[in-house]
A and B are shown apart, each in its own frame.
Chain A
Amino acid sequence: MTAADAAAERDARWATLMAAAQAGDARAYETLLREATPRIRVLCRARIRDAAEVEDAVQDTLLTLHRLRHTYDPSRPFGPWLATIAARRSVDRLRRRSRGAGRESPLDDLPESAAATQPEAEQRLAARDLREAVASLPESQRTALRLAKLEDLSLAEASARSGLSVGALKVATHRALHSLRRRFGVPEEKK
């Protein structure tokens, strides 16, 4: 079997799995996502160098794929449909990164007192505690926090990317922040 034949066979299999997923078959959908993820990773890696950014783009692609699954026509090849989504999410990642880079300033530019307020080891411990605290949150709250707070997306954008409603996102973000504040003993913000 040639590489082209193998690719065509894989495409036909993914088209069938996607058609089953559109009908609500969770097992077919999970199989499809697991099989397609390495391909998505390759597509994202073609545009992004940084490994962590690639993984973020992969997850963004999966979320968009989930939200747009009703737009796929199983009579057409699955590959181009997937490739466009992966390309768009990779470009978005790069754009957001370049915008973020413009807002960041190197640590050396800060006054010495700012860097000296907390020893490096202590900062690392605090960062580790925060990472652990975020990891212990339920998945929906983690997703909401990542999209709405860490990536600074609008609620509409975060909702579009995650497939969660704006209301559900608001509740999940609020609960996530509430749990983190409680864990670190930070008083609630006054409205």
Chain B
Amino acid sequence: MMRTDDLIRQLAADVQPVRRLPTPWRLAATWLLFALLVIGAAVIVAGLRHDIAQRIMLPEERVNLATALLTGIAAAIAAFQLALPDRSARWALLPVPFAAAWLSGLGWGCMRDMAEDGSLGLGTSFGCLRFIVGFGVPLTVAMCWMTRHASAIRPGPVAALGGLAAAAVCSVGLSLIHHLDAAAMILLWHGGSIVIVTLVAWAFGPRVMRVAAA
């Protein structure tokens, strides 16, 4: 085995000036801007849903959109914080209250739909899955590339938070395009797609980081 002394000498001889990483706040803002531009472009191309003006006036719709967006923003900030060695692991909990508020808002909506219509209005909506996974995965890859330094520290949780951030932002964009009113449908298809992107990120994100860091 190489002696530790020799290794230190080798590392010191090898040292080059490095550009310090921007703050996690700035990195998060950069990624969020990029994600909002991508999803904004998708919304413009697909066109806003025809009744967006009425939908946006509904308090429950505003709460759903705001909590989903805040979940995405909080997850992105948490991912960039957690990617640094000296930040507390508790950053991972940052998106939890917003995600809980979003889920409880949709749960409340399910009960309201049930009381008003007598059914949850469940059906299939593979378009939601396609949109959130289709845009969520590339945005997650971008996040993994930007947090590649986490590959040596906490790659799994950072990648999972990146997936959550990407999918939550996609969900907000999709809500502006897609005519989907039943809370149970949003919970199932948006929520399910977000869970899928998060799990895929957790499983494969660390590999993306390792390749990007190599």
Judged by a CB distance under 8 angstroms, whether A148 is at the interface is no
Judged by a CB distance under 8 angstroms, whether A100 is at the interface is no
B190-214 contacts to A (CB < 8 Å): 210-211, 213-214
Tell me if B86 and A84 are in contact (CB < 8 A). Answer: yes
B9: A residues at CB distance < 8 A: 30
Judged by a CB distance under 8 angstroms, whether B90 is at the interface is no
A72: B residues at CB distance < 8 A: 20, 86
Question: Looking at chain A, what size class is its interface with the partner chain?
Answer: 35 or more
On chain B, the number of residues with a Cβ less than 8 Å from chain A's Cβ atoms is 33
Main DSSP-derived SS at the A contact region: helix
- State which of A22, A59, A143, A165 has its C-beta within 8 Å of the C-beta of B17: A22
Q: For the complex, what is the distance from the CA of A68 to the CA of B10, rounded to whole Å?
A: 16
Tell me if B12 and A29 are in contact (CB < 8 A). Answer: yes
A24: B residues at CB distance < 8 A: 15-18
- State which of A71, A77, A139 has its C-beta within 8 Å of the C-beta of B21: A71
> How many contacting A-B pairs (Cβ < 8 A)?
116
Query: How far is the CB of B88 from the nearest CB of chain A, in Å?
Result: 9
Judged by a CB distance under 8 angstroms, whether B85 is at the interface is yes
With both beta carbons as reference points, the residue of chain B lying nearest to A36 in the complex is identified as B8
Tell me if B1 and A71 are in contact (CB < 8 A). Answer: no
Judged by a CB distance under 8 angstroms, whether B54 is at the interface is no
Query: How far is the CB of A56 from the nearest CB of chain B, in Å?
Result: 7
Asked whether A62 and B11 contact (CB < 8 A) given A68-B152, A85-B85, the answer is yes
Query: How far is the CB of A155 from the nearest CB of chain B, in Å?
Result: 8
Tell me if A156 and B19 are in contact (CB < 8 A). Answer: no
Judged by a CB distance under 8 angstroms, whether B64 is at the interface is no
Q: Which A residues fall within an 8 A CB radius of B?
A: 21-27, 29-30, 33-34, 37, 52, 55-56, 58-59, 62-64, 66-73, 76-77, 80-82, 84-85, 88, 139-140, 142-143, 146, 155-157, 159-161, 163, 165-166
Can you list the 7 inter-chain pairs with the closest CB atoms, starting with the nearest? A24-B17, A30-B12, A81-B86, A70-B18, A84-B85, A80-B86, A33-B8
Q: Which B residues fall within an 8 A CB radius of A?
A: 1-2, 4, 6-21, 23, 83-86, 149, 151-154, 210-211, 213-214
